[in-house]
Amino acid sequence: MSLFVALHTLAAVIWVGGMFFAYMALRPAAGKVLDPGPRSVLWCHTLAVFFRWVWGCVIVLLVTGYGMIGAYFGGMAGAGWHIHAMQGLGLLMMLLFLHIYFAPYRRLKKAVQSNDTDEAVRRVGQIRMFVGVNLVLGLLVVVIGSAGRYV
């Protein structure tokens, strides 16, 4: 059980921490020093690396989360409200990530490959909006997951 808790926590920290870094540090810094074209290329390549990590985190979160629910709680019926909330918000985050990956990110890659700066900038803005929503959800999940059982 402790291995599942550790892996689950690490996967959440990597995903949510990565979004926090991208949104709160890389975005404003890149906006100050790079023109829109090179900035879009930077985002495209940065997201390519980050999204590989997110795919791994999603798999680890699902396996460890449902493993702990089965082993520790005996199923969802034995889980507290915070586990239900964490699961629901986590699944919403995963669905939002899938949308980002298969829609605006795919279009960003095409725009960067074809040197369409206007479209690339538009897609980076769209991704930024969705990542902002996912970041808020992720921070909420962290609070619920860490403090929920004490409420």
pTM of this prediction exceeds 0.85: yes
- Residue extents of the structural domains in the chain: 2-7+30-150
Note the pLDDT of residue 47: 98
CA 140 vs CA 54, 59, 145: distances in Å: 18, 20, 8
Note the pLDDT of residue 149: 87
Report how far residue 128's alpha carbon sits from residue 124's, in angstroms, rounded to the nearest whole number.
6
To 5 degrees, how large is the angle CA 77–CA 80–CA 82?
A: 130
Strand residue runs (E) in the chain: none
Note the pLDDT of residue 84: 96
**Cβ within 8 Å of residue 136, ≥6 positions away:** none
**Cβ within 8 Å of residue 1, ≥6 positions away:** 68, 71, 72
Query: Checking phi first, is residue 79 left (phi over 0); if not, alpha (psi -120 to 50) or beta?
Result: beta
Note the pLDDT of residue 151: 85
Note the pLDDT of residue 142: 96
- Under a CB-based contact definition with an 8 Å cutoff, are residues 144 and 137 in contact? no
Residues of the chain with pLDDT under 70: none
Note the pLDDT of residue 1: 85
